[in-house]
Structure 1
Amino acid sequence: MMFKKIRLFFAAMIILILPSPILAQETLGLDASDSLGQITNVNQLEDVQPSDWAYQALASLVERYGCIAGYPDGTFRGNRALTRYEFAAALDTCLQQVQQLIDSGTANLATKEDLETLRRLNQEFQAELKTLGARVAKLEERTDVLENNQFSTTTKLTGEAIFAPIFTDKGEATLSDRVRLNFKTSFTGKDLLKIRFQANNVPNLSAVTGTDMSRTSFDAGNNNNVSLNEVYYRWSDGKKSQFWIGTVGLDIDDIFITGNPNLNSSGPGTVTRFNRYNPSTHRGPEGAGVGLQYKLSDQADLIALYVTDSIQTSNPNQGFFNSNFSTGLQLNYKPTKNLNFGVAYLHTYYNQGSVNLVSSTGSPIGKDPFQGKAAASQDGFGLNADLKINEKFQAGGWIGYSQANAQGIDSQAELWNWNAHFSVLDVGKEGAILSLAGGQLPRAGYVKGFPSDKDTSYLVELQYKYPVNKNITITPALYAVFNPNHNNSNDPVYIGIVRTTFSF
């Protein structure tokens, strides 16, 4: 009889109620969809048949003691392995249930033999029960420490620091840094208020190389003066819509999807400005404005934005609608989990004297084809794709075209650019990525009434991102610009960087 009772308990303990929902899910490795539910009749268990050897034992536990639970799909999952700790915790729960029956005057439901079996099993697993109690106590202590020392109940502080020695074939090496502190606040669990402070002394390499095409992805040198770099609020209904509003640092790529997951970040991603995202549709006047994303289906979403130059917008003489601005639409489609497409349109406007059609990624001609003689508007179109070929390889790229129109004079310009990138994942270590990226930088192949770019410049970057741990990443990289400023007579520019990114 004793053996039969022990076998009964081993058959049923897999789905016993544990002392608390948190302990039950963490110990058994369950998520919310696997949460246990009380069983009132053994027939509720779809995978337990009357012919099963444990059927009567389970029926007895349900009807006499009420101390088992099933899964939401109505299954028993009786072939699942369990640890001694799981058994001990479940056993203790069942013993407490029987004791409650005794205290409530229903002791006749439990036989003396049943109680003796439970007591012996409980004694057998006393060590495990004590260990579980100690673990719970430690968890409570750690929770108290975290609650007492947390930065804020609503705000999370994160940071990033970059150290970067930079070597060029045009001058001496430099050693510089970029430091960011981010305050991320959520009030509802579906929103985000982001405030970022930044200090930076990474140089703009065009002063040495003679071309914007050589700029890094993380330059913004301000002699390490601390500045308010980003302030925006993002809200989501948790279903279909997401909304942005910002006054500083709300950029186009914060709203539009870049489709370049391994390289788009300026911290641990590409080291070049051009390889981050399509300059035809993801760069322009930005900083303050609004954005809206609407989910059309499980595979598609539509994004709209209107952003302006934040410095001009805060000037009462210009304001929100008379500043340099960018407005556009992006449609994203994900036919499979490994393949993403995006098509985007961006209309930009620049006041005379501030025209920068390529956002400092191309030649002086591409930057302002009208030579400062007119304000300019531009219509940019872009198509990007990203494919995770398998667990080891990922590839993607984009193509961009834009047409610019001078304001007040009869002149137009057409600009093209394209990019391709290829990454090998988990090279030498999990999380390490070897990437090759590059393409044709923005080129003004046609300009009415003014000179155009006669030749073609190309950029090629090779980098290896190595995560030392979850907080430190080292990225040695080498890149070259061929025919700088779309001029075959210019010598290539070669640049090497060893970027170390610290994050917390």
Structure 2
Amino acid sequence: MKKFLLSALGASVALMGSGLLLEQTALADVKLPERTTRPNAALKSSAAVSQTAKSLSPEPSLEAVTALQEADASIAEVDQVTSVSQLTDVKPTDWAFQALQSLVERYGCIVGYPDKTYRGNRALTRYEFAAGLNACMDRINELIAAGTADLVKKEDLLALQKLQEEFAAELATLRGRVGALEARTATLEKQQFSTTTKVGTELITYLADAFGDSAGPRNNAAIGYRLRLDLDTSFTGKDRLRTRLQATNLRKFDVGDVFGVSPVGRATSDLSDETRFLATSTSSNSNVTINRLQYRFPVGEKLTVFVDANTIDPSIVTDPITPFNDQATGSPSNFAQIDPVWFPIGNQAGVAVNYAISPNFQFDFGYQGEGDSPNNPQLGLFKAGYSAFAHLIFYSGTFKLGFFYINSYSPQFGVDTLAGSNAAKILGAGPVIGNGYSVQLDYRITSWFEIGGWVGLTQARALGSGTKGDADIWNFSIDLAFPDLGKKGNLGGIVFGMQPRLTGTSNAAFASAIGLPAGQREDRSTGYHIEAFYRYQLTDNISITPGVIWLTAPNHDDRNPDAVIGVIRTTFVF
């Protein structure tokens, strides 16, 4: 009996059944003694084990406790192996077959893994051997207690007694560890509070150049970057305090004095925002600034509250419903990421709420305060301008539909959305009230094809003395996405759209104040934004995205030659 117990136990680490699966507990994370490489190799003395026990972690982690609980649950769900014939990797010709058959069919211990394999050729440690021995001891005790002691032979009990004496130290350590694990689990369940801070890093680099007649002699390839460091702290496990540090040297793509600007009207130094790669691409001259300070926490099961004390916009707190909305891994251009109606600039602080009405409907809303000026953004929810938004979202499988409304008031920024023509910003006519409307749609038709897009309208009213007037600004986009193109994690994209275009003004004085030439009440022409890109996922953390952006009639003025911008974006996310 001793011989087959040693052989079978030494040939396996399948410590299922009534035993313990040590590889799914905290013991798997510690340094174990030198493994026995042969099933019948001589066992080391118990003195060596006491030294090994010192290397065991004194307290198992919460992750280890969770893993053990999950392992116990999964074991309970698997049909028990009751015959050696059920083990897929054991053959009658195996040298330990008879011993294994006795252990499984006679005593019901050391019965195999949940997938009905035995894995008899892998090595084991003395602790694993002790755990298997403990399982068999428990099983024999059950047989005795059940009145079936005649099934246990005297020689088996003698062999078991000798093994118990040989492994007394390991068994005591094992039982102590289990006791400590149970005590630690109870403590962790009572004391859930733990302040944890995680650090995330995002680096985006751009290599870009412009081509076409508008590029001019000053055109040179440009290199830019944006670096972000996110410190995410949780106090309850469900909330999040995000502190974001940022440094960047990105700017609007400079390809000459007249590129992207109507040759008449506004100063030629005012470059169009149609060339932006990121909405937050204003250069900080590589100085590190606090870009975001946000606290998010749940209230009940359906409500989540966001409190921001720095830059904020609706896309941070509600779903933009576009396939390319991620600044690091979505489309290279600013316009193709999210409907510009969402971005009246200058927001510096605010409060927002997500409310899950039902599994298919969500309603999000918020209020955001504006700084006093672009160069001196004095914080305050009610001191200067503001914007208030509401967003109703419908979900159904792979289909999403959103209805968005935003009301804004700005004494400084008009309805500048960091996209579109210069006239569409409604700057120069005094304080401006804006009402923005947007409908977004996204439908993932198959696992490899997705279609999305939006239509946006901003109705602006200027309140300046002598320049009062109304204006309409439209924009749209049609997006075709190809997820996992080439391999899992890749993304192909095609975008066709019109950046914000001023389509009408109510009077000549107002039109002149915002930069239109005499006699002109809207943008001269209609220019289109055509974009194609392909994100190639090198690793889980690194991607490279080459892309091409074609702007017809920049600044919505057909006197400006078409421009083609080539870009290669490299993204590192850790």
- TM-based fold match above 0.5: yes
SS of residue matched to 2:316:
helix
* Identity over aligned pairs, percent: 28
**Which amino acid is the alignment partner of residue 72 of structure 2?**
L
Aligned equivalent of 1:250, options 306, 312, 316: 312
2:404 paired residue number: 344
Q: Deviations over 1:173-194 (max 9, x none)?
A: 1122221111111111111111
Aligned equivalent of 1:96, options 134, 152, 156: 134
**How far apart are 1:199 and its partner, in Å?**
1.3
**How far apart are 1:496 and its partner, in Å?**
0.9
TM-score, scaled relative to structure 2: 0.67
2:293 paired residue number: 231
1:328 paired residue number: 389
* Residues 14, 82 of structure 1: 8 Å contact kept: no
Aligned pairs (5 A) from 1:71-470: 80-81=116-117, 83-84=119-120, 93=131, 95-99=133-137, 109=149, 110-112=152-154, 154-169=196-211, 170=215, 171-205=219-253, 208=256, 209-210=259-260, 211-217=272-278, 219-237=281-299, 239-261=301-323, 263-310=324-371, 319-336=380-397, 338-351=398-411, 353-355=412-414, 357-368=415-426, 372-407=428-463, 410-449=468-507, 450=511, 451-470=521-540
SS of residue matched to 2:221:
strand
* Residues 280, 358 of structure 1: 8 Å contact kept: no
Change (3 A) 1:389 1:318: closer
RMSD: 4.7
Q: Deviations over 1:309-343 (max 9, x none)?
A: 2566998988321322211111111111x222211
Separation (CA, whole Å) in 1 of partners of 2:77 and 2:334: 59
SS of residue matched to 2:133:
helix
* Residues 184, 192 of structure 1: 8 Å contact kept: yes
Separation (CA, whole Å) in 2 of partners of 1:313 and 1:322: 15
Q: Which protein has the bigger strand share? A: 1
Change (3 A) 1:240 1:111: farther
Aligned equivalent of 1:36, options 72, 96, 99: 72
Separation (CA, whole Å) in 2 of partners of 1:189 and 1:448: 53
1:144 paired residue number: none
TM-score, scaled relative to structure 1: 0.75
* Number of aligned positions between the proteins: 452
Separation (CA, whole Å) in 2 of partners of 1:83 and 1:391: 38
Q: Deviations over 1:30-72 (max 9, x none)?
A: 9899653699xxxx99989x9xx99xxxxxx99x999799xxx
SS of residue matched to 1:430:
coil
1:73 paired residue number: none
**How far apart are 1:281 and its partner, in Å?**
3.0
Change (3 A) 1:166 1:65: same
Change (3 A) 1:284 1:104: same
Separation (CA, whole Å) in 2 of partners of 1:493 and 1:313: 29
* Residues 480, 493 of structure 1: 8 Å contact kept: yes
Separation (CA, whole Å) in 2 of partners of 1:313 and 1:240: 37
Q: Which runs of 5+ in 2 are unaligned?
A: 30-65, 87-102, 178-193, 261-271, 512-520
Change (3 A) 1:412 1:34: same
